[in-house]
Amino acid sequence: MTSGPVGIAPPERLGRTRLPDGRMLAWAEWGPADGLPVLLCPGGATSRWLGFGADAVDALGVRLVSVDRPGLGASDPAPGRTLHDWPDDVRSLAAARGLDGLRVVGYSQGAPFALACAARGVVTGASIVSGSGEPAAPELADALAPGVRSMVEAVAADPSAAEAAFAASADADAMWALVTTGCAEPDRAVFRQPVFAAAYRRAITEGFARGPAGYARDTVLTMGRWPFDTTAITTPVDLWYGEQDTSVFHSPGLSTALADALPTARRHVVAEAGGMLLWTHAEPILRSLVT
């Protein structure tokens, strides 16, 4: 497997699509326009600009489509949105853009959004990369780091107050520090590469272009109870983790409950990788998803 970050390149196509309710959903694409469509649900507060596997999509025949969730990047906000609303947005985007046979990749905070699409039958296959199980699920409570447990408890006690608090404390600099501080050496090596670091910083800056409300809403939705039954998902799901990942949000130890809850899951743990394996191991992740 590839041991360094791959596929960092500007989007080949950029645009926005009007949804039935009038909102605009922003997207970026890499790979052949007539390729097999794969939707990327990006990580926390990162915009559509940061794709992955740009040097693999042509060979695999993949049309990678990264989408800004509502209120992030160039997508219009949708106050009060839920995890149930995201599959509806994706279904509308797929119809408008001709994304037949759509697969989905959910990275980090994007994982429950990808799983919501699988639960609603919007996609034919899914890959969850560095994604935790449901943080608010009782079976995961003892595995959570204290800071993450505090976020879960705040959302459970008062979702509106928690959302306001998340918005008040979040900006591009804070997110960069959260992602890069304390990560394992494989991930530090990725961030030390100037091209990747610049692309990631740009994606975070664009993610906050409309302010912190989009990220804050995402955080409430991911830290609260997920409104779908993972045990009922019939779509094939690959779970990918780096054994060296030390993140309190998505280290491999937080994946066991998710793997147990998904009857179609195939769990892959890459020994030499950290949490950034979406970029260091893009080709095998995409290949497994499309085959």
**How many structural domains compose the chain?**
1
Task: Count the neighbouring beta carbons within 10 Å of the beta carbon of residue 148.
Answer: 18
Backbone angle region of 280, left / alpha / beta, with phi > 0 → left and psi within -120 to 50 → alpha: alpha
In a domain, 98, yes or no: yes
In a domain, 230, yes or no: yes
Per-position pLDDT tens, the chain of length 291: 334 555 789 999 999 999 999 999 999 999 999 999 999 999 999 999 999 999 999 999 999 999 999 999 999 999 999 999 999 999 999 999 999 999 999 999 999 999 999 999 999 999 999 999 999 999 899 999 999 999 999 999 999 999 999 999 999 999 999 999 889 999 999 999 999 999 999 999 999 999 999 999 999 999 999 999 999 999 999 999 999 999 999 888 888 889 999 999 999 999 999 999 999 999 999 999 999
In a domain, 178, yes or no: yes
| Cβ-proximal residues to 153 (8 Å cutoff; 6+ apart), any chain | none
In a domain, 226, yes or no: yes
| DSSP 8-state symbol, 187 | H
pTM of the model: 0.96
Q: CATH number, domain at 279?
A: 3.40.50.1820
| Domain extent at residue 170 | 13-290
In a domain, 55, yes or no: yes
In a domain, 23, yes or no: yes
In a domain, 157, yes or no: yes
| Cβ-proximal residues to 272 (8 Å cutoff; 6+ apart), any chain | 1, 3, 186, 242, 243, 244
In a domain, 1, yes or no: no
